[in-house]
Structures are given as C-alpha cells and as structure tokens.
Amino acid sequence: MMPHDPMSATQALEIIAPAKLVVKDVSKSFTTRRGWLQALDHVSLTVSEGEFVCLVGPSGCGKSTLLNLIAGLDTPDSGSLVSDGQPITGTGRERMVMFQEHALFPWLDVMGNVLFGLRLKPNLTDKDRKEVAKYYLHLVGLERFAHSNIHELSGGMKQRVALARAMAPNPRVLLMDEPFASLDAMTREQLYEDIQKIWAARKKTIVFVTHNVREAVCLGDRVILFSPNPGRIREEFVISLPRPRDINSVELAGLATEITRALKSHLPAK
C-alpha cells in the first residue's frame, strides 16, 4: 500500500528538499455567463526543488486555474503564491508554461522555434544559443529535424519541439497543462518515456496538469487529487515506484486503480 496521508507526505518531502513553490490558502473566482464560479477554494500546496507533481481531477476542478496562477498569468482573489522565496506577482522567465496546443511558430523551422525561446536569455551569444538549442533538440531526439518545417512534423514531434523550447531557457519551474491530451496512445507512451529521461537528466521542478490518472502515476513523484464545485485539494499520493516507469505495468495499473477510486469518492453525487 502506498503512503497517502496528506500531512505526512508533504512534511517528508519538505525535509528531503527545500520548497520551490508555496501556494498558501489561495482562492479564485470568476464571473461567467452562468453566474459566479468558485474555481479554487483555500488551496494550499508545497512543491519541493526537483519534484515532479501531477495535479489530477475532472474538468472544472481548478487545476489549470492553479497552473495559471503559478505562472503569473492571473492573480488570486486571496492567499499567496511564492517561488524561490519571492512572491509571484506576474510572469517570469524562471517559470515556463507548456500548453496542450504546441503553439509553435509555423514561419520558423524547428531550430528557429527553440532559438526563439532563448531570446529570454540576453546574456548568451548567438553561438551559445545555437549550442543550447542543439543540446535540447538532442535531448528530445529531434537533432536530425533541426531545419524541418513545423508542418512536416507529426503531433508528437511538435510537442517535443514545444518541450525543447520551454526547457531551453533553463527555467527553474516547468508548468505543463495537459501537453499530451491530443495525441494518440502510442505517441503518448513514447513521450512518457522521453519526459522521464529528460526529467532524470535535468531534475527540473515540474507541475503537470492531467485528467489521466495512469499518466500521473507514470510521471509524478506525487499525485494531487482535486474535486470541483468549488476546486479543492482532497488528497495526495506519494508514488514510490522505481523509474523509468512503464504505463502498462501491473504495479502502476494497481496504484492508478487505487487513486481513481479515491478520486471518485470525492466527486459530488449525481
């Protein structure tokens, strides 16, 4: 049985590594055509240095809202968000976001797209930028496609380019909002392997939003369960399976089943 006591899991991780992100008592609401919506209700979360945390829950539970707040794309109604000891008051190059849609520039080739992200590093020379871009294209397995046009790439390759572009400026935190949701199953499985290798090589702090419990168990050090109406953190699970993980393994499937059962228990009755 996997440990999943919220307090003991968080306390243990804080002892192992210093806090990278601290979300404290954050609430956020929106006015929609249907009226007032409480997206997040008093949410608190600590993410440690180098930790891979997956946020899981149904649509409308506030996962992406929280990611946008951490990115500095929006501000909370109440509570606070801190990154590396500094309040988050807006966007910053130390926090990069990778969305579900790759958002690549079609007029630039693969290398040009990765170099574009490196414009955030004004201290680098053009030669340095090219070397960094080559390194990350190698890391995502696309060095042979450096001068390919974006429309020539498959969906999975486009997401690899987007990942290389997000990581090239060397952000302290990588925020990923369902980046594999639109891909076919086989492509996703390959990307699960790729991102685990990249995370092992770079040890970036990653906050990853997904609806897919198996995906979360495959990738995360911790899985955080959200429930909707309003959005709240209900439970967290520490994932102790050795890496690299195979999403089709029996052990992983068993943990995913346990977490899915817990997630369903927190959903409103129909």
pLDDT in tens, 222-251: 999 999 888 999 999 999 999 999 999 999
Helix residue ranges, H only, 17-147: 63-71, 110-117, 126-139
Residues 119-172: tens digit of each pLDDT = 777 788 889 999 999 999 998 889 999 999 999 999 889 988 998 998 888 889
Going from the N-terminus, what domains does the chain have, and what CATH number goes with each?
Answer: 6-94+171-265 (3.40.50.300)
**Which tokens sit at 7?**
């307090």
The DSSP bridge pattern shows strands 19-32 and 78-83 to be antiparallel
| 12 residue type, one letter | A
